[in-house]
Chain A
Amino acid sequence: ENVLTQSPATLSLSPGERATLSCRASQSVSSYLAWYQQKPGQAPRLLIYDASNRATGIPARFSGSGSGTDFTLTISSLEPEDFAVYYCQQCTNWPITFGQGTRLEIK
């Protein structure tokens, strides 16, 4: 099983600041890494696929990078609606696995 480890567990920032979230895989996933945003009471929303491609309708302030085992989600300038939990997911191998999540909270 490919274990995904996200860091930090919690990130406290203010609106307008830059957020950098990390996801590390125990085995290479090439570029088949996705990021989701989840708000309370809602299903996860796909943000990034193939490590760096924004899903339909996702604002340009969200960007992804990385390949192999190390990946980063960057939010260039935080908006109030960006405070949520973020998950990474690998799409390379069965079983499909998710990271444990990073909670982005308002400072």
Chain B
Amino acid sequence: QLQLQESGPGLVKPSETLSLTCTVSGGSISSSNCYWGWIRQPPGKGLEWIGSIHSSGPTYYNPSLKSRVTIFVDTSKNQFSLRLSSVTAADTTVYYCARHTSYRPFDYWGQGTLVTVSS
């Protein structure tokens, strides 16, 4: 059974860079045709896709966040990571990592981690 777990600081200062890692267990992050994605959800609001990275390397980002987002994979640790630069209070949300495949929805999710942007 594939499991995903987010980790990272729960508090980030405005203008700094938010960094989160998703550790994958029960399967290889290098599995063919898999995408590893980040989704976020402000408290009490809807879901927003941040971006995804394919197991072979290509990345896809939400145009609304593209200038501030980087997603990369560390196959040696079976992890993928999110970096979001120049954060503001609007980036205070729950961040989820999840897996999907081509033309398929997110079928495995992490439990989510709340990141608060505040000085």
Q: In the complex, what distance in Å separates the CA atom of A55 from the CA atom of B104? A: 11
- Is A95 within 8 A of B63, CB to CB? yes
Query: Is the beta-carbon distance between A46 and B103 smaller than 8 angstroms?
Result: no
Interface residues of B in 15-64 (CB under 8 A from A): 37, 46-49, 52, 60-63
Given known A44-B47, A98-B48, contact A91–B104 (CB-CB < 8 A) = yes
A101/B46 in contact, CB under 8 A? yes
Judge whether A92 and B105 touch: CB under 8 Å. no
B105 and A34: CB pair below 8 A? yes
Closest-by-CB residue of B relative to A40 is: B44
Q: Mark A25-45, 1 if CB is under 8 A from B, else 0.
A: 000000010101000001111
Partner of B46, one of A1, A42, A87: A87
Chain A nearest CB from B47 CB (Å) reads 4
Q: Is the CB of A92 within 8 A of B63?
A: no
B80: interface (CB < 8 Å) = no
Interface size class of A (residues with CB under 8 A): 20 to 34
Partner pick for B103 among A1, A55, A91, A98, CB 8 A cutoff: A91
Closest chain-A Cβ to B41's Cβ sits at a distance in Å of: 9
Given A43-B109, A43-B111, A43-B112, residue A96 in contact with residue B104 (CB < 8 A) = no
In the assembled complex, A65 has its CB within 8 A of some CB on chain B: no
Contacts of A63 in B (CB 8 A): none
Residues of chain A contacted by B110 (CB below 8 angstroms):
43
Binding site for A on B (CB under 8 A): 37, 46-49, 52, 60-63, 96, 98, 100, 103-107, 109-112
28 A-B residue pairs with Cβ-Cβ distance under 8 Å, sorted by A, are A1-B63, A32-B104, A34-B104, A36-B105, A36-B106, A43-B96, A43-B98, A43-B112, A44-B47, A44-B96, A45-B109, A46-B105, A49-B105, A55-B107, A87-B47, A89-B47, A89-B105, A89-B106, A91-B105, A94-B60, A95-B49, A95-B60, A95-B62, A95-B63, A97-B49, A98-B46, A98-B48, A101-B47
